[in-house]
Amino acid sequence: MITEAIILLCLKRGHVVRKSFVTGLIILLPLAVTIALIAFAINFITSPFVGFLEHFLLDIPFYIHHQAFVHFFLKIFSLFGLFILTIALGFLARVVFFKSVLSLYDYILHRIPVISTIYKTSQQVIKTIFGGGSKAFKQVVMAPFPHKNSYCLGLVSGQVPPVCANSAQSSMVSVFIPTTPNPTSGFLIMFDEKDLIYIDMKVDDAIKYVISCGVVNQNELE
């Protein structure tokens, strides 16, 4: 009897520990993922500037002995500097004189081989995504992918190039299919518009559904 009681007590404590561990994961993992994504974004934005600034500090004794601290400070400094610079450029772009300077700068970059292709493409993408009147990535659809008997969530990115629509002789739509659990990668697929099912779902909810590998359902999203 004593042995059975001890085993039962251990099982109960083990169950409590398991439930506590799962609860801790539910609290900790979202925070860890959020911090990781923010850190990745900050590193991606600031790394070129930090590397440039550190090049001038290589022979300074303070930098040699406190490299980690200086590196962290430069990242924060670069982040705030870029934020202020972006606001300043946006403000100056509204001034008549600077409009002329920006037009000249834009004209020059559009005439440089190779660079012009990258610059024009980046410029068009940014304007499309952040433009107030843009409809890109604002409509969620169910698309027949990877074959016609199955569906996945997709984001309408716009109409296909006219040459593609004319060749297919149908009304076609470009759809971005995000991958799970990383929605920043995916597939750009041209679908016949009649094959798409337009649904009343927010883009944010669709992204959450993809990131969660389908674990988060519609009721939980709302």
Please write the tens of the pLDDT for every residue from 46-99.
887 877 777 777 777 777 777 777 777 888 888 888 888 888 877 777 776 666
At 144, phi and psi to the nearest 5? -75, 90
Q: What is the pLDDT of residue 128?
A: 60
Angle at 124 between CA 122 and CA 128, to 5 degrees: 115
pLDDT digits (tens, 9 = 90+) for 6-37: 554 455 555 666 777 777 777 777 778 778 87
pLDDT digits (tens, 9 = 90+) for 96-127: 666 677 777 777 877 888 777 777 777 666 66
Beta strands in the chain (DSSP E): 140-143, 152-159, 172-178, 186-192, 197-198
- pTM summary value: 0.53
Q: What is the dihedral of CA 50, 51, 56, 58, to 10 degrees?
A: 110
Q: What is the mean pLDDT of residues 127-145?
A: 72
